[in-house]
Structure 1
Amino acid sequence: MSAGSSPLLFVHGYWHGSWCWSEVIAQVTGAGRKALAVDMAGHGLRARRPECLTRRPFDPATLATEVSPVADVDLDQAGDLLVSQIKQLGRSGPVTVVAHSMGGTVLTRAAQQAPELVAHAVYLTAFMPASDVPAIAYVQMPENAGELVAPSVRADPTAIGALRFDLTSDDAGYRQQLRDAFFGDVDPAVSDAAIGLLTPDAPAGIALGATSLTSDGWGSVPRTYVTCARDMAIRPALQQKFIADADAAFPENPTAVVALDSSHSPFLSMPGRVADIVAKLG
């Protein structure tokens, strides 16, 4: 397919679902581009919610101890699912894949497995881990100092198998922290609606997995990284590290970079701009 004509497939990040791309999808399809948003393994219609969040009377202790119903979901499953979704949309032809946040880790795995199916890999303020490095290793790096996601997690991921938010909390400060982490420049009414759609448990196995990258696999796929200057989930310095590390590993295929002055969720705060960017790629 020629540039700018391959189908667009959108992958969300942790706790989100295909719903977060609705405004972007409306704009790219309205312009005549074939596009689809999918749910990542353990999310959206594939999510399973812990009983502790809805059991009454509420027991705070179980919030931190109940093993997640998505604890068995790992990067292998997520990568295989994404490859199948790409095949379904592309019908054996290449697809431009746009991934947000932790969805980038899954895109990296899928592009390494089936590089011939990915016309262009677009990382929208996403994890773009180096070879054999799990995404979780980046969370506490100095480049990510000040992020607000880890402080919002309400259980030990190694104990319950997931990164859990207390989405039923009536703590105004906690809910504001979630807004600040993900939706800092999003209209308050929209951000509240988005929080209501989040999945409480994100499978830890996706972030714990790693992918060995090769020059004829992921390293051969054209890639663009869209930075977000006001991101409080993946800090700007970490975004730059992803780009620098990828270019050092695969200098013959450098990363194209587009900059946005946005929070972690430009698909909600500036969907038109995101649509314009991705429509020109792939």
Structure 2
Amino acid sequence: MTAFTPIVLVHGLWHGSWCWSRLTGPLAAHGVPSVAVDLDGHGLAGRSPAARWSRPFDPAGFATEPAPSAAVTASSAAATLVAQIRQAGGGRPCVVVAHSMGGVVATAAAEQAPELFAELIYVTAFAPVDGRSAVDYLAGAENDGELVSRLLTADPAAVGALRLDPGEVSRHASVRQTFYHDVDEHVARAAIGLLGPDGPAGIPGEPLTVTRQRYGSVPHTYVVCTEDRAVPPALQRRFVADIDAVSAHPTAVVELATSHSPFLSAPEALAGVISAAYRARRSEPVTA
């Protein structure tokens, strides 16, 4: 039996492995196997603050309760991701796809274990590589126009997380405009219902330094989403420039005219980009 290592799909803050479900079918149609993972503090690896479920709902309690995931950092989440990639590929290198703030974790993981990465594909993702944290980029001019900050309902320093209230119906329109403005309304509503409230502040808050010898040895592709309202295109292109400054390989750049969530709005187009990289970088087959 011939087998290839699968694509490993890494989500961003507040999301989980569920967000890739509309992409895995198109990838399979291209002959590409895929595995979606939950980052530490997310999906089945996450817990919500108790105040989220209290009835009557207490907004003040929700805004002040410490996050169960407050101890998660970029490095600790990366260590978990390394183990997930190793398991998915049986120890052989995989093509890893990282979205949004999941790019921080994937960046740290590529520095920790570059031998497990056949290629790292960023999808409108953060890639802090020069000793700064993702938070440091948020204050830059390239981030002007982003809509994420208006969604936060708590002080990240106080609760240890970037906290949303996706259950508040009055906020649904803002959440959709930020993440899913070109996504079918019914799919967008379902996605909003699946969002977790907490993105661990230690993921964007930890400064990362990578090396040319380790992270820089990994080939990179960056998918720029030109209609993104969460990570502005100017900031995406800044990450490409920063990656190229430490990489032995120039970053391949592909542009999609989509929102922050092409895996929901344009899964066939995104699958085409990923499958092309997979065919170019996949590991040699093994016979079992």
Is the 1:6–1:119 contact (alpha carbons within 8 Å) kept by the matching residues of 2?
Answer: no
1:8-47 correspondence runs (5 A)? 8-47=7-46
**Structure 2 matches for 1:46-61, cutoff 5 A?**
46-61=45-60
Written as runs of structure 1 = structure 2, the 5 A alignment for 1:104-253 is 104-171=103-170, 174-250=171-247, 252-253=248-249
The residue that corresponds to 2:273 in the other structure is 277
By how many angstroms is 1:168 displaced? 1.9
1:6 Cα deviation after fit: 4.5
Alpha-carbon deviations, 1:175-210, whole Å to 9, x = none? 211101100100111101000000011111111112
- Normalising by structure 2, we get a TM-score of 0.93
Q: Which runs of 4+ in 1 moved over 4 A?
A: none
Structure 2: segments with no counterpart, 5+ residues? 282-288
> Which residue of the other structure, out of 251, 255, 259, is the alignment partner of 1:259?
255
2: CA distance, partners of 1:92 / 1:56: 47
Counterpart residue type for residue 238 of structure 2: K
Cα separation, 1, equivalents of 2:181 and 2:138? 19
Q: Which amino acid aligns with 1:190?
A: V
Instruction: Give aligned-pair identity as a percent.
Output: 49
Q: Report the equivalent of 1:91.
A: 90
SS at match of 2:169: coil
1:7: Cα distance to partner?
2.1
CA RMSD of aligned residues (A): 1.1
Query: Is the partner of 1:207 in helix, strand or coil?
Result: helix
| Rounded Cα–Cα distance in structure 2 between residues aligned with 1:133 and 1:224 | 21
Equivalent position SS for 1:9: strand
Counterpart contact for 2:211–2:246, Cα < 8 Å: no
SS in 2 for 1:15: coil
Using the alignment, how far apart are the partners of 1:207 and 1:185 within structure 2?
26
Kindly provide the amino acid, as one letter, of the partner of residue 146 in structure 1.
G
Deviation at 1:139, TM superposition (A): 1.7
- The superposition leaves residues 248-279 of structure 1 with CA deviations (integer Å, 9 ceiling, x where unpaired) of 333x4211100000000000001011111101
Task: Name the count of aligned residue pairs.
Answer: 275
TM-score (normalised: structure 1): 0.95
In structure 1, list runs of 5 or more residues that go unmatched.
Answer: none
